[in-house]
Structure 1
Amino acid sequence: MTMDFGTIQFNSALMSITIGVGLLLIVRFMKHLKRSKIGQLEGWSIGFAIPGFILTITGANMSLKRPLYKLDFHINNIIFGEFSLAFGVLLLAVAILLWRKANVFTKNNFDYIDSMTISRILMKEAPILLKPLSYFTFALGLALISIAIASIRLQLLSTLNGELITSSFTKYPLVEGLFISGLYALTGIGAILLPFTLKQYAKPSFFKVMITCWQIAGIAFILFGMMIYFTLSEIIIHLMGK
């Protein structure tokens, strides 16, 4: 399969890095919450809002607009674009919830309460606040697992000829496909486990597996985004030579 530079999504690198950052932010927040180290919520709210906004805008553009006239890569656009859009909206929802909770603390003169008290309040209310979101997260996780299986079976994400790094694996088309599918599977497993970690008597192992999956996937998405930025240099040179 040869690369058609006219169909490449140049914002996919930013999206990949942003997905990784979003996953790692969730992991960090949950770990801080478990250890009663949550401080001011405004910072966390903005931290979730930034990747949420980026993924919502770029994901909507990729999944709703590009496939209508860039048909060569419409499968990849839908798979990556729709996932980014859904994850971006979820991050924005979390940002709004945290911002509203911060306003509640402010109105009740709780500005200077210690992080342990804030964490205890959030631990008590989080299962109730996040339960509605967890249903969509669970369904999204099932979709991600489905994408991972289909990608391996149908080689939807096989390596493209002409890429600066991944072209080294052209003889092994499943290498990149297995890597991306693994990221989708890890993210999906974590998403499926989220509703079960919110139960009153949830098993600690569920939380540990969820956090581990999202942490590995988050780091891998960031590294993959860095690799895409590296390959963009060849694409730009190719376009300049036309």
Structure 2
Amino acid sequence: MTVVAEGLKIDWSIMPTYNTIMSIAAGAGLLALVLFGKELLANAKDSSSDINTDGWSIAFGVLGIILFPMGMHMSLTWPLAAGGFPFDNIVFGETSIGFGALLLFASFYLWRRGEQFAAANPLKKFGRVAQPISWFVGTLGLALFGIAAAGITYQLFAAPAEEPISGWFADYPMVEATFMSLLFALVGVGAVLFPFVLGKFRSGDFDAKIVKVMGWSWAITGVIFALFGAMNFFTHIGLIVNTM
């Protein structure tokens, strides 16, 4: 008699997942920070260059509103634990709380002080205003290094075979573990450099190499996170259909 193995089944009613929109928001948030920085740098070199503080306030606010409450809910309720992925609640939930809170307060500051901020030397002012919180950003970068190390050590992030596209590598867990770990580590590089970049801004050294390294690290990872999240709208829906 031939026994047919039953595929993976998940009770989705007790394991809500929403790191799809969180991934897009995180990617868009990283890109928004890079583009906002480009406007500040352009203004520093040519004071007639405009800074769209209203637009950036809206952008940071929208993305922060997505990331902060979802990250908070994920961190406090651990919805992914029911399906055997408790570590994902830490990886995606707690990082989203930190990033979301930073975006929300950046939005609030630009909304209340946008005109004053853009009036004179906004890049240097940004360096002064953001300096006290920059060390929190830096330690978040160290946390991202920890996530990357855990991803490699414990071969995390591997998708089950039932998930389209990502599931192609189910028998090779190190593929997705390495991809995601390097992604988190690269974001971490930019975050760790952030306090030192602000020091360059305050001193007027706008073209320092670490400024470019931070910008490129967040630009590259922002694009990847956004595209990966968009792809997951298909792959996660496929996983749900295949495991109901």
With the shorter chain as reference, the TM-score category is 0.7 to 0.9
Is 2:244 aligned against 1:237? Answer: no
The separation in 1 between residues aligned to 2:9 and 2:214, in whole angstroms, is 36
Give the corresponding residue for 1:195. Answer: 195
- CA drift of 1:154 comes to 1.1
Root-mean-square deviation (Å):
2.3
Q: In 2 relative to 1, CA 155–65 (structure 1 residues): closer, same or farther, beyond 3 Å?
A: same
The separation in 2 between residues aligned to 1:129 and 1:11, in whole angstroms, is 33
The separation in 2 between residues aligned to 1:3 and 1:132, in whole angstroms, is 48
Kept in 2: contact 1:38–1:119 (CA 8 A):
no
The separation in 2 between residues aligned to 1:3 and 1:194, in whole angstroms, is 43
Percent identity between the aligned chains? Answer: 39
The separation in 2 between residues aligned to 1:218 and 1:56, in whole angstroms, is 18
Kept in 2: contact 1:67–1:78 (CA 8 A):
no
The separation in 2 between residues aligned to 1:149 and 1:167, in whole angstroms, is 22
Kept in 1: contact 2:141–2:188 (CA 8 A):
yes
Give the corresponding residue for 2:29. Answer: 22
- Of 53, 66, 69, which aligns to 1:57? 69
The separation in 2 between residues aligned to 1:233 and 1:68, in whole angstroms, is 16
- CA drift of 1:121 comes to 2.5
- CA drift of 1:169 comes to 0.9
Is 2:185 aligned against 1:167? Answer: no
For residues 209-228 of structure 1, the C-alpha deviation after alignment (integer angstroms, 9 at most, x for no partner) is: 00000001000001110121
- CA drift of 1:102 comes to 2.0
Unaligned runs of 5+ in 2: 1-6, 44-48
For residues 25-47 of structure 1, the C-alpha deviation after alignment (integer angstroms, 9 at most, x for no partner) is: 00000011101144331111011
The separation in 1 between residues aligned to 2:80 and 2:11, in whole angstroms, is 17
Once the two structures are overlaid, the 10-residue window that deviates more, 157-166 or 129-138, is 157-166
- CA drift of 1:161 comes to 2.2
- CA drift of 1:86 comes to 0.9
Q: In 2 relative to 1, CA 3–89 (structure 1 residues): closer, same or farther, beyond 3 Å?
A: farther
For residues 22-76 of structure 1, the C-alpha deviation after alignment (integer angstroms, 9 at most, x for no partner) is: 0000000001110114433111101100000100011111111135963621111
The separation in 2 between residues aligned to 1:209 and 1:82, in whole angstroms, is 25
- Of 210, 217, 220, which aligns to 2:221? 217
Kept in 1: contact 2:152–2:178 (CA 8 A):
yes
- Of 20, 27, 41, which aligns to 1:13? 20
With normalisation by structure 1, the TM-score equals 0.86
Q: Which amino acid in the other structure matches residue 28 of structure 1? A: L
Q: In 2 relative to 1, CA 60–145 (structure 1 residues): closer, same or farther, beyond 3 Å?
A: same
Count of aligned positions: 228
- CA drift of 1:20 comes to 0.3
Kept in 2: contact 1:62–1:77 (CA 8 A):
yes
Give the corresponding residue for 1:110. Answer: none
- CA drift of 1:4 comes to 3.3
- CA drift of 1:120 comes to 4.5
- Of 77, 91, 113, which aligns to 1:101? 113
The separation in 2 between residues aligned to 1:124 and 1:9, in whole angstroms, is 43
Is 2:60 aligned against 1:48? Answer: yes
Kept in 2: contact 1:186–1:214 (CA 8 A):
yes
Secondary structure in 2 matching 1:10: coil
Kept in 2: contact 1:141–1:191 (CA 8 A):
yes
Kept in 2: contact 1:139–1:192 (CA 8 A):
yes
Q: In 2 relative to 1, CA 5–33 (structure 1 residues): closer, same or farther, beyond 3 Å?
A: farther
The separation in 1 between residues aligned to 2:126 and 2:185, in whole angstroms, is 25
Give the corresponding residue for 2:87. Answer: 75
Q: Which amino acid in the other structure matches residue 178 of structure 2? A: L
With normalisation by structure 2, the TM-score equals 0.85
